[in-house]
Amino acid sequence: MTSKPPVDPRKSASPVQAGRSSQGASSASANPSSTSANPTAAKELEVIEYYLSMADLSEAELRESIAEIPPVPTDATWPQVHISGARGQHGALMRLDHSIVLHVDGDVGDYAFAFNSRCDVRLSGSAGHGVGEGMRSGSIRVRQNAGTGAGAAMVGGTLAIYGWAGPRCGAAMRGGGIFVKGDVGDETGVGAIGGMIVIGGDAGHHLGDAMNNVNVFIRGQAASLAAGVTEAPLRKREQLRLGLLLINASIRGDATEFRRIVPIAMLQAEEARRGEINPNWR
């Protein structure tokens, strides 16, 4: 990645590379180290970078600038968009649907990155309530903490929080995966009907309340499990899925350190499918 200083996007509209111009967004040259004798490899490694500021641009201007970033071929490296000036703005960068990597420097407020698709977001600070609400695909990596309802109603993709998350993390989620490196608050996974939640630390009360078809993996302790959920054996298949999520979240860890919490009904259905017999009959 190049280490160019941020450029005021309104002053620079002359891309270095032909065909990569974008009004409102500035582009810098590809990393010189990516050039290669092999032209195909060079094209794949080419990194286009853009610098935008939330302090200088309105929400609409910011969205417009991102929308103008030209798409790249599926086999090319995604454009890197560096966003500065994040100081707790609410509703930041919602409904983005672009194959880009967003590097957001600072903190964002409530409902940041809600209903996004495809974007790979990397936030250096903390997020408010409802980060990643309804996200469909892509990933969000929050380097610090997240407020209440992180990943609420998300449909797909990966939300990784490297600090702690507040209450009701993963509430009503319908798919995708959430990874929280630290602790989570009460009622994690409440009303979730699909997906996977991984908790690296401890959980609060009523873990898994009103939860269906969801696997929760926890490394620490839960203050209490909700009625209707139970601890279940960590099978090979879950180990593989968990390992994949850990890789997606760029986390080093052994899947076997985690315990699995699931709805009792789901566990019974699994056992029925496997034809298992409870050995306690004697």
Partner 1 sequence: MRDSLSPLCLLPPSIDQGWRGLAPPATFYAIERPGMSPVQLPTPLFWFDPPWHLLTVETADALAASVANTGVTVSALSRDLAAPGGHSAFLNLASTDRESRILPYRPERYGLIADDFDHCSIIDLRLAISRDESGAHVFSQNQIQRWEATTDASPVAGGSWVPATTMPPDVISLDELGSKILQLRKLAPSAAVFVSVGPFRVANEIQRLLRPTDDLQRHPDGIIVRLDQAQLAPLQLAQQTRRIRKCLDSMERKAFPFWLVPGSISADDAARLVALGADAIAVDRWCDVLVQELAEPSEATASSFGYSSRGIVIAGDSAKQRLGSWVESVLAPNVSRFQGLCRSINPNAAERLGSYDPQWAGALGVPLLGI
User: Is residue 124 within 8 Å of 105, Cβ to Cβ?
Assistant: yes
Among 98, 103, 168, 181, binds partner 1 (CB under 8 A): 168
SS3 letters across the chain: CCCCCCCCCCCCCCCCCCCCCCCCCCCECCCHHHCCCCHHHHHHHCCCEEEEECCCCCHHHHHHHHHCCCCCCCCCCCCEEEEEEEEEECCCCCCCECCCEEEEEEEECCCCCCCCECCEEEECCCECCCCCCCCCCCEEEECCCECCCCCCCCCCCEEEECCCECCCCCCCCEEEEEEECCCECCCCCCCCCEEEEEECCCECCCECCCCCCCEEEECCCECCECCCEEEECCCHHHHHHHHHHHHHCCCCCCHHHCEEEEEHHHHHHHHHHHCCCCHHHC
Among 16, 227, 247, 269, binds partner 1 (CB under 8 A): 269
**Residue 110 near partner 1 by CB under 8 A:** yes
Sign of the Cα pseudo-torsion (78, 84, 87, 91, in order)? negative
Quick one: which of 254, 174, 250 has its CA closest to 217?
Answer: 254
Q: Which is nearer to partner 1, 46 or 110 (CB)?
A: 110
**Residue 172 near partner 1 by CB under 8 A:** yes
Q: Which range of residues in 48-56, 80-88, 148-156, 216-224 is near partner 1 by CB under 8 A?
A: 148-156
Minimum CB distance to partner 1, residue 133 (Å)? 6
* Binding letters toward partner 1, positions 188-207, x by CB under 8 A: --xx-xx-------------
Among 54, 210, 218, 222, binds partner 1 (CB under 8 A): 210
Minimum CB distance to partner 1, residue 213 (Å)? 6
Length of the chain: 282
Q: Which is nearer to partner 1, 93 or 249 (CB)?
A: 93
**Residue 217 near partner 1 by CB under 8 A:** no
Q: What residues between 71 and 100 interact with partner 1 by CB under 8 A?
A: 90-91, 94-95, 97
Q: Which is nearer to partner 1, 15 or 151 (CB)?
A: 151
Measured in degrees and rounded to the nearest 5, phi and psi for residue 255 equal -60, -25
Among 77, 213, 239, 248, binds partner 1 (CB under 8 A): 213
Minimum CB distance to partner 1, residue 182 (Å)? 19
Place of tokens 């279940």: 232
Q: What residues between 34 and 73 interact with partner 1 by CB under 8 A?
A: 59
Q: Which is nearer to partner 1, 212 or 239 (CB)?
A: 212
Q: Which range of residues in 185-193, 219-227, 230-238, 240-248 is near partner 1 by CB under 8 A?
A: 185-193
Among 9, 15, 138, 149, binds partner 1 (CB under 8 A): 149
Alpha-carbon distance of 114 to 138, in angstroms, equals 12
Q: Which is nearer to partner 1, 152 or 242 (CB)?
A: 152
Residues in contact with partner 1 by CB under 8 A are 59, 90-91, 94-95, 97, 109-111, 114-115, 117, 129-130, 133-134, 136, 148-150, 152-153, 155, 168, 171-172, 174, 187, 190-191, 193-194, 210, 212-213, 265-266, 269
